[in-house]
Structure 1
Amino acid sequence: MKELLRSFEKYRDWFCVSCGCPMDLKKTDITYLGSQFSLELPVCPECGMVFVPEELATGKMLEVEKILEDK
């Protein structure tokens, strides 16, 4: 998980598509399939838009989804 979070550092140079502000890494609470998680994700400081990187959506979240579905 630490490697995944470190990989999000590359998104610090990205800009919000909605308002054009640079994204900041910010602790963000997300709810997924009824479970809540806190992660540092790229967030726009101006409008609050949260960017969920592909490696999270297709990697860790997919793993969590499969675990929760099996319960």
Structure 2
Amino acid sequence: MRVVKDEKTPWICDKCNKELQVKLTKVVYLGGTFEVELMQCPQCKMVLIDEDLALGKMLEVEKSLEDK
């Protein structure tokens, strides 16, 4: 069973106890660089990489680098 997060429930940083905010973030992954909107803690700047990004764009970059 997959639990779907209620969009009205904020994501909270476990370290700082601050609500995460959507920020345009430069991501460097396996030599590839791209910008993506990520949930980020306003205090410690840690980001939440959701499943869609991890299994989508990041997987694309990984596969393209493996093919070279």
Does TM, scored on the shorter chain, surpass 0.5?
yes
**RMSD of the alignment, in Å?**
1.5
Structure 2 alignment gaps of length 5 or more: 1-6
Identity %: 51
- Name the structure with the higher strand share: 2
Q: Is the 8 A contact 2:32 2:61 kept in 1?
A: no
- Name the structure with the higher helix share: 1
TM-score by length of 1: 0.76
How many residue pairs are counted as aligned between the two chains? 61
Structure 1 alignment gaps of length 5 or more: 1-9
Larger Rg: 2
TM-score by length of 2: 0.78
Does residue 16 of the first structure (1) align with residue 13 of the second (2)? Answer: yes
